[in-house]
Amino acid sequence: ANIFKMAVELGMQQDQENVRNGLQFFDRADDLTVSNVGLAAREGDEERLIRLIADGSPCDVSDNRGWFPLHEAAAAGHSGCLRSLLEHKNEDLLDSRAYGGETPLFLAALNGHVECIKTLMEFGADVNVMNDEEVNLLVASVKSGSLECLKIFLECSLDVNSQDVGGWSALHEAAFAGHEDFIEILLSFAADINIQNSDGATPLFTATQYGHKTCLKLLLKEGADISLLTVDKASPLFIASQEGLTDCINMLLTAGADPESKVVDGATPLHAAAERGHPECIEILLNAGVSACAETYIEKITPLHLSSQEGHYKCMELLLSAGVNVDAPTHTGNMTPICLACQGHADCTKLLLDCGANPNHIYEDVDILPKTPLMVSVEGDYVDCVKILAERGADVNRATYTTPLILAAQNSSHDCGKILLDFGADPNFVDRGKNTALSIAVTRLGYGHNQKSLQVQLDCIKLFLKLGASVDQLHQGTCIAFKDPSAMRVLNPDLYKLLLEFEGNRPHSREICRENSRAKRTNLKWRKLERLTSSPRSLQHFCRLVIRKRINSCRMQRIPELPVPHSLKQYLMYSDL
């Protein structure tokens, strides 16, 4: 009973593992389901197999895959075991099909076991069998890599052009595997050199796709049609360009392939090479006369758009030197290449700017909101791109639905915010939603809408405050944390302590501190803030606020130039915070 229980538990564990691996139960052998005879056949133990048969052990018990002992012996290549099974009244299982439709002969062919094939055929095995996917013995033989197996079945007059459910033929399989000698013998038996699978791929296309140059050369020599396209209109040259196969490209161009053939959306081989980042392929295609300005049919996407999006610098250099329009817009969204490069590809962004790209171009992003390249770089926290764009003339105050600085506040991006402020961003700009950078940063911290740490968010808010963001707008604007009494309770005391450094004692502040101190009696920080706001602030503190207000946020960066003592400059800049 214990042994049975252990077997069940082991079986359950195996089933769970199969599910985790995404495998069907009948796709691989389960040792708990194989019979003693099947195990002996699998291991090639002919002596034990004969003894088991003599003792009356059944030979017609299948495992989880539907394999009988005959299948086991054929798949493993044990011709002696196979013959022993067939000689002991197993002929009725000769053409038995497993759960995937495989017969013993099919498995022998799939694994390249010539002697097993001969033995099974000697006993009359059906050579016209296919598995459930309609793969025949010719394709199975090519899969095995055994030329001798293939020759055996070709001599049986099997249909050399038989195709499985996906339209795959023996010639496709030979081209896929790179077996030049298999292709030669299949063609000698009248295989259709231009046969197409359900996707429209020919053996020539397949050989090209997988970079099998000798097979490609042979197929071209034998007259394969290079103009045949897949269902999405992809040519062999297109797939060669996509995969970066320079030798194949040269061979196809020499054979007369159209270098500007287009797939269904209008993309050319140059688009494919540009998107995948193959500069050598681009160079070959450009030298063949392909236009660098080719556009897709509807979206008007150029190869430069694709290289810019993927950050393929060398490809971009070649395309730009070939005269492509650096500011070519797409149909949807009006995107230019720099709108794509600025999403993390700093070197590519610089290259486009060097070639005259407009850093202030407005386009519609995937969320249908109008943006500039600078806004997109800030939104993605691509600091290097932000710096390059700001240095090269991007307007840091160019507003659409919001500004770059407010986007930096949303992300609590200190580095992006610092760059923008250094280049003159207005910290008090009010967007269409009546938000400022400070109000956004404060609200998101209060409600936990930001994934960054509290300290990172506080540092970002501190940056805005030091460089001129007005606390007054928090109380006057739409910042909910300062207007909704229930929202006051989510305020962070460390945040509010920081804000109090940049304002005087206003009644609203005292109310907020008193409300939070009473609601959170165990929080000593709020009690200290209540005491702070209940007492008059120092004259020194008020003087700093007045001076900074007179200086104005736009000139806050120039405090170090003031003709006053160094210690006073430090105080005005809140260097102690």
Number of structural domains in the chain: 3
Helix ranges restricted to H, 222-345: 236-243, 246-254, 269-276, 279-287, 303-310, 313-321, 337-341
Are both 426 and 515 inside the same structural domain? yes
How much is the pLDDT for 26? 52
**H or E element in which residue 371 lies:** strand 370-371
How much is the pLDDT for 12? 52
Are both 455 and 543 inside the same structural domain? no
In order along the chain (577 residues), what is the average pLDDT of each group of 10 residues?
48 53 55 84 92 89 90 95 87 91 96 97 95 96 97 96 97 98 98 97 98 98 97 98 98 97 97 98 97 95 98 98 96 94 98 97 82 96 98 94 95 96 93 89 78 89 92 69 55 82 77 72 77 84 89 83 90 89
Burial of 440 (C-beta count, 10 Å sphere; 0-12/13-18/19+): buried
The CA–CA distances, whole Å, from 360 to 37, 396, 399, 414 equal 77, 9, 10, 22
CA distance 156 to 42: 28
Question: What value, to the nearest 5°, has the Cα angle with vertex 368 and ends 365 and 369?
Answer: 80
Q: Number of helices (H) and strands (E), helices first, in the chain?
A: 33, 2
**Alpha carbon 270 to chain centroid, angstroms:** 22
Q: Does a structural domain hold residue 365?
A: no
Strands (DSSP E) along 475-554, which ranges? none
Are both 509 and 560 inside the same structural domain? no
Query: Taking a C-beta distance cutoff of 8 angstroms, is the pair 184, 214 a contact?
Result: no
Domain with 542 in it: 538-570
Nearest Cα to Cα of residue 240 among 267, 262, 197, 210: 210
Q: Does a structural domain hold residue 417?
A: yes
Q: Does a structural domain hold residue 552?
A: yes
Q: Does a structural domain hold residue 113?
A: no
**Cβ atoms within 10 Å, residue 54:** 9
**H or E element in which residue 528 lies:** helix 524-534
For the CA atoms of 305, 308, 313, 314, what is the dihedral angle to 10 degrees?
-10
Query: Taking a C-beta distance cutoff of 8 angstroms, is the pair 254, 223 a contact?
Result: no
Q: Does a structural domain hold residue 367?
A: no
Query: Taking a C-beta distance cutoff of 8 angstroms, is the pair 204, 172 a contact?
Result: no
Are both 408 and 510 inside the same structural domain? yes
**Alpha carbon 316 to chain centroid, angstroms:** 21
Query: For residue 517, what is the domain's CATH number?
Result: 1.25.40.20
CA distance 128 to 121: 11
Q: Does a structural domain hold residue 102?
A: no
Are both 484 and 510 inside the same structural domain? yes
Are both 513 and 553 inside the same structural domain? no
Query: Taking a C-beta distance cutoff of 8 angstroms, is the pair 434, 478 a contact?
Result: yes
Strand-pair partners of 454: none
For the CA atoms of 9, 13, 15, 16, what is the dihedral angle to 10 degrees?
140
CA atoms within 13 A on the CB side of 485: 4
How much is the pLDDT for 559? 87
Q: Which residues contact 274 (CB under 8 A, 6 or more apart)?
A: 282, 303, 304, 306, 307, 312, 315, 319
Are both 427 and 479 inside the same structural domain? yes
CA distance 63 to 65: 5
Q: Does a structural domain hold residue 424?
A: yes
Supply φ then ψ for residue 24, to 5 degrees.
Answer: -70, 150
Are both 500 and 548 inside the same structural domain? no
How much is the pLDDT for 23? 46
Are both 420 and 482 inside the same structural domain? yes
Are both 560 and 444 inside the same structural domain? no
For the chain, how big is the Rg over CA atoms in Å?
A: 37
Query: Taking a C-beta distance cutoff of 8 angstroms, is the pair 291, 325 a contact?
Result: no
Are both 416 and 464 inside the same structural domain? yes
Q: Does a structural domain hold residue 507?
A: yes
pTM: 0.85
Burial of 566 (C-beta count, 10 Å sphere; 0-12/13-18/19+): exposed
Supply φ then ψ for residue 387, to 5 degrees.
Answer: -65, -45
Question: What value, to the nearest 5°, has the Cα angle with vertex 438 and ends 437 and 444?
Answer: 90
CA distance 40 to 80: 12
Helix ranges restricted to H, 292-372: 303-310, 313-321, 337-341, 346-354
Are both 463 and 563 inside the same structural domain? no
Q: How many residues does the chain have?
A: 577
Map tokens 């960054």 to a residue. Answer: 452
The CA–CA distances, whole Å, from 205 to 165, 211, 545, 571 equal 19, 10, 74, 73
How much is the pLDDT for 484? 56
Query: Taking a C-beta distance cutoff of 8 angstroms, is the pair 347, 372 a contact?
Result: no
Helix/strand/coil percent split, the chain, to 5: 55, 0, 45
CA distance 436 to 398: 14
